[in-house]
Structures are given as C-alpha cells and as structure tokens.
Amino acid sequence: MSAPLPIVRTVAQLRARVGAWRKAGHSIGFVPTMGALHEGHLSLIRLAMARADHVVASIFVNPTQFGPNEDFDTYPRDEARDAALLGGAGCHLLYAPEVAEMYPPGAFTTVTVSGVSEPLDGLARPGHFAGVATVVAKLLNQCAPDIAVFGEKDFQQLQVIRRLVQDLDIPVEIVGGPTARAEDGLALSSRNAYLTPEQRVIAPRLNGVLRETLARLSAGAAVEATEAWATAELLSAGFKSVDYIEARAPDTLARLGPGPAIGVIRVLAAARLGRTRLIDNIGNG
C-alpha cells in the first residue's frame, strides 16, 4: 500500500516543502482546485506530472468567489476522498488551508482583472472573477510553482488567470487542460452531482448545442441569429434559463458578429437546469 498523501495547511508549511524541492533543483507543478474531485481534476494532475518533477494540488472552497445566493455552504466537501484520489493519481502534496489562513483578519486587497472578466460570467456572477483572481494570485504566490494547470471547462476563468499572471509579472507558466467529458458529452463538473436523473438526461444537450452552434458559425451563419437559435434550442430541451450562449474571440472574449464570424471562435454557454448552473464551451482553434 502506498503512503498517504502528505497534507499541509499553512503557507509556511507549503513553502518549506516546495522550498526543499526547489533547493534540490526540482521543478514544481501546481493544480488549484475546490475539491469534490472527479476525472477532470485527475487529468489536470496527470498533465502537471508530465511537465514537472513534483505536483502540488490545493483544495480550498474559496468563499470570495461565491455570490450571496450561490452554493458556498452546500458545495460538496470530502477531503479524505479527495486526498485518496490525488494520492492514487501520483500527486505529491495537498495544500488545504483554512479560510483564516487564506484571509486573515485585516486582509483587504482584492485583485480585479478588467476586460476579460467583464462579460459572460462577469455579468451573470458579479464579483466572481475578483474572488477567483484574488485567490489564484495568492495561491500562486504561496506555492511559487513553475507551471500551474487549470481546466479549459472554465474557459473565461482560464483567460482571466492568463491575463492576471501576465499583468502582475507572476513567474509561472499557465497550462490549460482539455475538458474531460462523460461518454454522452457532458463536461465533468463537481456541480453535476446536483442533477436529478431526469436533468442528467437533458444536461448533455448543452454540449450538443454548442457543437451545432460552432458548426453553423464555421459554415458562415450570422452570429446573432445563431446565438438566438442556440438559446431557443436549450430552452426547448428543458433548460430552465440560459445565462448566455455566445461566440467570442478566444483571447479577449470580445464579441463577434452580428454577421458571420471571421477567424478563431470560442462559443461559451451557461444555462440552468433546475437548481444547477452548467457551463461549457467549444472552440475551433
């Protein structure tokens, strides 16, 4: 039986472990998560392991990125299960700080990334990306990895983090990991656990409509009309509401259209199925 995964809970403990590896000339990969791990997270761990000598994962359900009516209190938490999965995947260290370690009394600094944070989830979830940018800036400063891996499922988050790292001169390479999917196309997400069996049948339609949207746009259909078609498709499939399904420029997330889209397209969507908010995206480059 392999040894249990070592867990550290303070910045000082994390820095001591990582510092020893660094002193020995080894490279560090980092995979920040909020726990409730699934195959998508484990694929990010494997990506980090292929690129670095040691891999640190963090689990921190970050309160500052949840809105007042969101699922912070009910977000699934099972550290023992997560640690076993991480250890099984070959991860070397788990960093699992308490809220007071990340946000000690008297902490008042917030990181906001303009531009790329503003549309889409920036409108649907006010304050969300400031919470993400702040915690990710802190985590990267605490761990000081050579590379950090984030899932492409949260495509806007990935672009916010790329911008943040570039603008604040944080010396880390950000690597995007491909979205892991169930066989029927549903993007794996910790929040899929909220779906009822009936909703789980409808959920893959989000990926299906994204695919059809990209195909239509790639064939020269007008952006605005295609987005309207896609919204109607999701609603008729049984989604309760659609926050957005929009074609954007991948790097800046600037709007495309209203006519045919030229060049590289990323279509991003967020839609609600019962109490579950699902997001997904697809691109052609």
Provide the binding-site residues for ligand PAF, judged by CB under 6 A. Answer: 32-34, 62, 65, 132, 135-136, 150, 154, 157
User: At closest approach, how far in Å is the CB of 34 from ligand PAF?
Assistant: 4
Between CA 282 and CA 152 the distance in angstroms is 9
User: What are the backbone angles phi and psi of residue 267, rounded to the nearest 5°?
Assistant: -105, 125
Q: For residues 132 and 164, which CB has a smaller minimum distance to ligand PAF in the complex?
A: 132
Element (H, E) at 175: strand 173-177
**106 contacts: CB under 8 Å, gap ≥ 6:** none
Is-catalytic flag, 41? yes
| Residue 50, phi then psi, degrees to nearest 5 | -75, -20
In whole angstroms, how close is the CB of 240 to ligand PAF at the nearest point?
23
Least distance (Å) between residue 160 CB and ligand PAF: 10
Helices (H), the chain: 11-23, 39-51, 79-89, 99-102, 121-124, 128-143, 155-167, 197-202, 205-218, 223-237
How far is 129 from 132, CA to CA, in rounded Å? 5
Q: Which lies closer to ligand PAF via its Cβ, residue 132 or residue 282?
A: 132
- In angstroms, give the least distance from the CB of 257 to ligand PAF: 28
> Which CB, 154 or 246, lies closer to ligand PAF?
154
Rg (CA), the chain: 19
Q: Which is nearer to ligand PAF, 135 or 143 (CB)?
A: 135
- Least distance in Å: CB of 231 to ligand PAF? 25
Q: Which of 41, 54, 92, 128 is catalytic?
A: 41
Residues 6 or more apart in contact with residue 52 via CB below 8 angstroms: 27, 28, 29, 145, 146, 147
Would you say 73 or 183 has its CB closer to ligand PAF? 73
* Cα of 121 vs its chain's centroid, Å: 12
Q: Name the nearest CA neighbour of 142 among 102, 82, 109, 94.
A: 102
Structure token digits, residue 98: 């308490």
Which residues are designated catalytic? 41
